Structure 1
């Protein structure tokens, strides 16, 4: 019984010291430009890129860290930065994946590709009140697949 109190003091002190979080401060500068080019189905489109990369840079931080992100929009249109998978304290909500949470590590994203300019397609549909037309193809992880003659090697 005499050894128990002597052992508990250092143990509790060790546990208390392990609970101290020493967060780091991270600074990021994001420059958004329309400098990217993407080719699918023989059609090349310009796209927004962040720091000349798509997808944009990954922010890796740990709980307790402070993050400052300076975003400079040099594109032609306004942009919105949306943080997926981030719990934001003092914010009324947070979300996870921009799609249903995957069961494993292989993520499959289904999308659509229009050879016409998408802004013009949407503007035309809004003008006459019709639905947007069906896309020229569906994509899996941004790739149209091998059913199109220009798919092999052009879109990689």
Structure 2
């Protein structure tokens, strides 16, 4: 797919892509100043490219004993989990099929020399309009561990969010002893009302927004609330 070479007195890194000069020059610019721990780390297989589609639209979901329409990604609430390795490049195809313009922010990811993919609405970029698409590029230069992604348009992040699991670079391991098991837990809030209406009313009146009706774990209300399915989730993963 490509080759990785070293050149220059300062050990600059260059990635050559055979598909065309556009990608060659693009990745050369991004990777020029990456510092690797040793020469053995400079391998083509340590730089992978991942791709995922994020289709956002209104979906009916039942929570807290009632059914409501929420904005969700790929018809799921909780959204998909992104699984990558350190140094990977991830492309997210954002397809907005909902009624609101939206952006996706990759929380905790340092978008070095790549701020236009950070997803901060009206700061780094405009929201993706309804019935259009946009591709964001996320480069995992230094991150390792668990972070999360979420919508960054008003309160749409309430139902549009998910986990990012960043494994160590290929042929490397975590800095701690091997663990026995792992599970991803994403806490959030749940509202019976329309979250966009709630924040609009608060901004109009200048008062505090309505507090949430429940807390959720991986998209399900905790077991203290009516109609909770959290134990179904726990039993399926234990």
TM-score of the pair, normalised by structure 2: 0.43
Q: Is the 8 A contact 1:49 1:56 kept in 2?
A: no
Residue 25 (str. 1) matches residue 75 (str. 2): no
Q: Is the 8 A contact 1:31 1:74 kept in 2?
A: yes
C-alpha distance in 1, partners of 2:193/2:65? 12
C-alpha distance in 1, partners of 2:193/2:90? 39
Q: Residues 31 and 106 of structure 1: is their aligned pair in 2 closer, same or farther, counting only changes over 3 Å?
A: closer
Determine which structure has more spread, i.e. the larger CA radius of gyration: 1
C-alpha distance in 1, partners of 2:202/2:216? 22
Q: Is the 8 A contact 2:214 2:222 kept in 1?
A: no
Q: How many residues align?
A: 134
TM-score of the pair, normalised by structure 1: 0.60
C-alpha distance in 1, partners of 2:51/2:185? 31
Residue 151 of structure 1: CA displacement?
2.9
C-alpha distance in 2, partners of 1:110/1:26? 26
Residue 41 of structure 1: CA displacement?
1.2
Q: Residues 21 and 41 of structure 1: is their aligned pair in 2 closer, same or farther, counting only changes over 3 Å?
A: same
Q: Residues 61 and 122 of structure 1: is their aligned pair in 2 closer, same or farther, counting only changes over 3 Å?
A: same
What RMSD in Å do the two structures reach over aligned CA positions?
A: 3.7
Uncovered stretches (5+) of structure 1, i.e. residues with no partner: 1-14, 99-103
C-alpha distance in 2, partners of 1:136/1:89? 38
Q: Residues 108 and 68 of structure 1: is their aligned pair in 2 closer, same or farther, counting only changes over 3 Å?
A: closer
Match of 1:83 among 85, 94, 106: 106
Uncovered stretches (5+) of structure 2, i.e. residues with no partner: 1-37, 119-141, 149-178, 234-238
C-alpha distance in 2, partners of 1:74/1:80? 13
Bigger proportion of residues as strand? 2
Match of 1:151 among 228, 231, 237: 228
C-alpha distance in 1, partners of 2:89/2:185? 31
